[in-house]
Chain A
Amino acid sequence: MTKTLVAVAAGLSRPSSTRLLADRLAGAVQQHTGDPDTRVQVIELRELANEIAQNMVTGFPGPRLRDAVEAVTSADGLIAVTPVFTGSYSGLFKSFFDIVDKDALAGTPVLIAATGGTARHSLVLEHAMRPLFSYLRSVVVPTAVYAASEDWGTGGDDALAGRVDRAARELASLVDARPAHPDVPDVDVPVVPFAQQLAALAVGQE
């Protein structure tokens, strides 16, 4: 079964360095995975900004947002990239993951990445991004990738390309090790038989 890799990019400008980083990471993971048929889908949250805000108010997603959430929750591997805003992930990035069901990403391998103007904000990955996906019970790969503006013009062993490569290998090996996510989600509503619900309460006659 074909596996799917989804990259979520929360950059706002066009062109966006956040999108650029998401594309590089996705390409690198695809390269390292043992399955050449692995599909890659990149979701730019900018295009969903209105529907994300509306979902906050109405409690249900519009059609395009619903497709995006489905893509993310049925992905075999997830790459999450945010710009750093005011000391953390952007509000749009957080709002999107607020809409995703809190159990839907449990066990999903995730690569976290962020972009910013300077390297001073790089601990956002460890202090904000990693705890967010820990709460969602995802499996976050050890290497997180931060790209400051200067990284796009720096070479050497420790440069961006090297970290992208290492993180991509880590995600690829986790994705390869898991069975493919089923294409058709489980549509049966789970039901606890009523007698069991009653028994759990020990309700009844003396």
Chain B
Amino acid sequence: MVNQMGRVKVMQFGIFTVGDVTTDPTTGRTPSEHERIKAMVAIAQKAEEVGLDVFATGEHHNPPFVPSSPTTMLGYVAARTDRLILSTSTTLITTNDPVKIAEDFAMLQHLADGRVDLMMGRGNTGPVYPWFGKDIRQGIELAVENYALLHKLWREDVVDWAGRFRTPLQSFTSTPRPLDGVPPFVWHGSIRSPEIAEQAAYYGDGFFANNIFWPKEHFKRLIELYRDRYAHYGHGTPEQAVVGLGGQVFMRKNSQDAVREFRPYFDNAPVYGHGPSLEEFTDQTPLTVGSPQEVIEKTLAFRETFGDYQRQLFLMDHAGLPLKTVLEQLDILGEEVVPVLREEFAKGRPAQVAEAPTHQALVARRDAELQEVQA
């Protein structure tokens, strides 16, 4: 199951971070931006150390968030890790120039020897669009057009292009070319837009449902749509579509200790704080606060709702949790939870279900397709 280069796995487990600078409600202490950025790097390194497969960072252009420059951070992490896949959650396909995304992530792909993929997202912060000269009302259209260009830039050496949203291109070559001539794998993330599930299906790319903050039924229909349309476009059966899910957990050996320790962070959290009780929220959404065994059970149940899937990312470091606590959480995740999840998810997994995407697997598939054409 493990090969020399890329550790081919049926499923990948990792973490995704928003990169928020939030006051710790139990101490009143707020980390500096510098501390938070270094903490994100420490968390990424820890993820590799405890045997996780993926680290993904968000992209934001407003306080209290720090990660405005994902490839800078991921390049730095790449130099300090050996196996970890570096990804995003998400890369703003609406407000970034697709040419710059093509260049930045191809560069990162070379530096990281292929340990790179990325997730496209639209972003939901209204003012970011005008700050980058765009209009939020055209969010979907921007995502569709910009990705069409990005997709082309990574697959055609010389590109002529005209669209609505950027300067036309004549005889443009995006450099560096993707590593081994194979572009990074792309996920498309969406919370509520069927157009994005359709886009992911059309290209045969992955679809990621963040699966946090809302009841799972909310994401179920989008994933079903994506799987159906993936088959419609001839990329394989619905079961062969590439699905990623988020999740959110806080663990201690004893369930009551986890609840007691996490409650003040929950009650004051930026997204759901000052709303429902921790008990109501864990009941209604995928958030799990409890023992490692409870996390294992709730995560395994995702498969019953969404079908066999390829990537599970956990949100571990938000709401002002101190670095020390987050690193302890990663120890528990890596030592007690993920090994069991790997074993259990592998059981009864149909052979035709896609393996989690890696650069090596994509290169092998490309080579196999070339051979088929030549034969």
Contacts and interface: CB of A to CB of B under 8 A. Distances in A.
A201 B194 contact: no
B59 interface: no
A192 B213 contact: no
B160 A205 contact: yes
B127 interface: no
Interface in B270-288: 271-276, 280-281, 284
A36 B233 CA distance: 50
A120 to B, nearest CB: 37
Given A191-B194, A198-B148, A58 B229 contact: no
Given A62-B280, A63-B284, A206-B160, A192 B198 contact: yes
B221 interface: yes
Contacts of B197: 189, 191
Given A198-B144, A203-B148, A203-B163, A57 B198 contact: no
A201 B145 CA distance: 7
Contacts of B347: none
Interface residues on B, range: 35 or more
Interface in A189-204: 189-195, 197-198, 200-204
Contacts of A205: 160-162
A191 B276 contact: no
A14 B163 CA distance: 62
Contacts of A184: none
A78 to B, nearest CB: 25
Nearest to A192: B195
Contacts of B222: 189
A206 B144 contact: no
Contacts of A59: 213-214
A151 to B, nearest CB: 39
Interface string B198-230: 110110000000000111001001100100010
B144 A203 contact: yes
B148 A62 contact: no
B168 interface: yes
Contact of A201 (B141, B271, B276, B280): B141
A118 interface: no
Contacts of B374: none
Contacts of A63: 284
B274 to A, nearest CB: 6
Nearest to A195: B202
30 contacts: A54-B275, A54-B276, A57-B272, A58-B272, A58-B275, A58-B281, A60-B213, A60-B214, A60-B284, A62-B276, A63-B284, A189-B225, A191-B198, A192-B195, A192-B198, A194-B199, A194-B201, A194-B233, A197-B144, A197-B195, A197-B198, A200-B141, A201-B144, A201-B145, A201-B163, A203-B148, A203-B164, A204-B163, A205-B161, A205-B162
Interface of B: 140-141, 144-145, 148-149, 160-164, 168, 170, 194-195, 197-199, 201-202, 213-215, 218, 221-222, 225, 229, 233, 271-276, 280-281, 284
Given A58-B272, A62-B276, A202-B164, 5 more contacts: A58-B214, A62-B284, A198-B144, A205-B161, A205-B162
Minimum-distance CB pairs A-B, first 8: A57-B275, A194-B202, A54-B276, A189-B194, A206-B160, A54-B275, A189-B225, A201-B145
